[in-house]
Amino acid sequence: MKAGYLVDPDTGLASKVYAAVTAGRRARNRFPENVVTVAADRAAAVAAADPAANRRPALVYGPCRSSEGFRLYYLLEWLDEAP
């Protein structure tokens, strides 16, 4: 287990992906798949961002199956934050 979620590198089902995430606040660290739009690369995720709609670019890990049966993505890094 890493960072609170199961990592299974042998299945290839979950992986690190760039995405645009609709989130009302940055404090959350996991998101249901209906608020995550997977992007081809970092530039595409940044281009899909819309701050007015709380849509932010991020590097996420997923999709992972929750104990309730939902598919979740886990936040690894917000891409629009200053270092």
* Residue pointed to by tokens 């996420």: 60
Assess if residue 8 is contained within a domain.
no
Reported as a pLDDT band with limits 50, 70 and 90, residue 6 is low
pLDDT digits (tens, 9 = 90+) for 7-66: 555 556 789 999 999 998 888 899 999 999 999 999 999 999 999 999 999 999 999 988
Q: What is the DSSP string of 43-71?
A: HHHHHT-BGGGTEEEEEEEEEEE-TTS-E
On whether residue 4 sits in a domain, the answer given is: no
Tell me the residue range of the domain where 53 lies.
Answer: 15-78
* Any domain includes 39: yes
Per residue in 29-43, pLDDT (tens digit) is 999 999 999 999 999
Domain count within the chain:
1
